[in-house]
Amino acid sequence: MEIIHISAECYPYAKAGGLGDVVGALPKYQNKIGHIAKVVVPMYRTKFLYENEFEVVGKGGFGMAHYWLNYTVIKESTNKLGFDLYLIDINNLLDREKIYGYDDDIERFTAFQIAVVDWINKWEDLPDIIHVHDHQAALIPFMMQNCSSYRRLSVIPTVLTIHNAQYQGWMDWNKSSYLPDWDKWKWGLLEWDKTINSLACGVRCVSKVTTVSPGYLNELKYNANGLEMLFEYEKGKCVGILNGIDEEVWNPATDTYIATQYSVEDSDVGKAANKKILCDQLGLNEKKSLIIFIGRLVGEKAADLLPQAIADSIYHINGEMNFLILGSGDPHVEYQLEQMNGKFMGYYNSQIGYNEGLAHQMYAGADFLLMPSRVEPCGLNQMYAMRYGTIPIVRRTGGLNDTVKDIGEQDGYGICFNQATVGDITNSVYRAVQLFKNKKKVDDIRKTIMQIDFSWENSAGQYLGIYQTI
């Protein structure tokens, strides 16, 4: 089967979060089990782009509103990623430093989607499946089915994977002229709540929708940023498939980002060595438990609760722990977290920014990973943490609920709480500090979580099952 994944991110070329990780791993595992999976992404100016060889494999042009846009398709030449990676270059529009965050993101990703459809339409042999990811690619199925120039593509079955339904690609109706000549009586497919909603349109037009965990799919029926009714109505075509983790990238025995590599057998020594390096570098105390947070500093991740929860924990639990934060996002939260560096020196450190290497070292050196998320479609961090023997402290939501079992339950291996509140976080930190005093139990849990099977093989098989049904 030939499967074309279309996405805004793909690790290691361009990653802002879990979307990049998944699109960089799933196609690799699909290829491993005998299929042909390829990935198409916009061309940004990332380090990977400059450090690798690419060749031109396609060119074309299309009108978008009053503009004519030319595109070039380049392909990574060595197949070092385990799948063919194609980048769509549209001068001045896509070739920017960052993936998102520009005022014209709507124009950028609409143009990207038109270019992809235009290019695939030129292929002699059409692929078996078009698999689009999140709202930045969710208008593609609509274009394949309802734009006069691309109707040839309407026979290809389509899948939309929702990694995050909070962001939906809203677009004013006055931008509907961006779309290539389309059947105007189909406007209802585009609209949700008086505006064009790319994600809603994708859900309506595709053959199957998947979410990145079964728990998240259930949640979408009552918490989907306005699309709850749609998910209830379309539930027959929706399936939740838990993400896997890329064992070639996330393996403490081979990870070249971390100072000391280790496996289950020598995890106590390996983690202690990695913790020491982190603590020495960042002014923390290696004898106390080390609790980390890695992620986008946004409301979804409940990052706004961190400053108060950390301050309360340090005061009320007598500073019996260290905190280390890595992330970027809301400037106000960034500021608050940075201010705390001076106030809680010795107990706390925050690193504002994106740092892949430090993230790996933190998973390896920490004792606990905190994820108080208000919304968590799957959450990869807790799975990476477990693979590295770091015990997760998570709010019971979405994929966190699907992957972590509380130590109070039989065979439990994590700390779970119900509410995204300062009180619940502080209480869970207290439980972690108590657990940390029981070295034998911590060691047993570590060995257990490092061996949980979060591999992609299982999930990749489930995706293929879905393709076969359509």
**Would you tell me which residues interact with ligand ADP (CB under 6 A)?**
17-19, 21, 164, 294-296, 326-328, 354-356, 359, 378-381
Closer of 149 and 355 to ligand ADP (Cβ) = 355
**291 vs 95: CA distance, rounded Å:** 38
Smallest gap from Cβ 336 to ligand ADP, in A, equals 16
Smallest gap from Cβ 182 to ligand ADP, in A, equals 31
Smallest gap from Cβ 355 to ligand ADP, in A, equals 5
Closer of 347 and 363 to ligand ADP (Cβ) = 363
**How would you classify the pairing of strands 170-171 and 195-197?**
antiparallel
Closer of 4 and 294 to ligand ADP (Cβ) = 294
Smallest gap from Cβ 10 to ligand ADP, in A, equals 13
DSSP-assigned beta bridge partners for residue 87 = 41, 74
Closer of 37 and 249 to ligand ADP (Cβ) = 249
SS3 60: strand
Smallest gap from Cβ 147 to ligand ADP, in A, equals 30
Q: What is the DSSP letter of 312?
A: H
Closer of 19 and 81 to ligand ADP (Cβ) = 19
**Contacting residues for 386 by C-beta, under 8 A, at least 6 apart:** 392, 403, 413, 414, 449, 450, 452, 454
Smallest gap from Cβ 320 to ligand ADP, in A, equals 26
Closer of 100 and 354 to ligand ADP (Cβ) = 354
Using CB atoms, what's the residue nearest to ligand ADP?
Answer: 18
Encode 393-404: b = buried (16+ Cβ within 10 Å), e = exposed: bbbbbbbbbbbb
Closer of 73 and 306 to ligand ADP (Cβ) = 306
Report residue 172 CA to chain centroid gap. Answer: 27
Smallest gap from Cβ 375 to ligand ADP, in A, equals 9
DSSP-assigned beta bridge partners for residue 371 = 394
In single-letter form, the type of residue at position 239 comes to V
Closer of 142 and 388 to ligand ADP (Cβ) = 388
SS3 448: helix
**140 vs 111: CA distance, rounded Å:** 11
Closest CA to 186 of 152, 145, 155: 145
Q: What is the DSSP letter of 44?
A: -
Closer of 54 and 257 to ligand ADP (Cβ) = 257
Closer of 150 and 388 to ligand ADP (Cβ) = 388
C-alpha separations of 6 from 115, 120, 129, 132, 260 in Å: 11, 11, 11, 5, 36
Closer of 133 and 208 to ligand ADP (Cβ) = 133
Smallest gap from Cβ 424 to ligand ADP, in A, equals 20
C-alpha separations of 221 from 134, 141, 264, 278, 463 in Å: 17, 23, 40, 42, 22
In single-letter form, the type of residue at position 87 comes to L
**14 vs 46: CA distance, rounded Å:** 7
Helical ranges in 61-133 per DSSP H: 105-121
Smallest gap from Cβ 380 to ligand ADP, in A, equals 4
C-alpha separations of 3 from 23, 40, 206, 461 in Å: 12, 11, 15, 13
Closer of 226 and 299 to ligand ADP (Cβ) = 299
Smallest gap from Cβ 360 to ligand ADP, in A, equals 8
Smallest gap from Cβ 181 to ligand ADP, in A, equals 35
How far the first Cα of the chain sits from its last, in Å, is: 12
* Spatial contact of 162 and 114, defined as CB atoms under 8 Å apart: no
**149 vs 140: CA distance, rounded Å:** 13
Number of residues that this document lists for the chain: 470
Smallest gap from Cβ 294 to ligand ADP, in A, equals 5
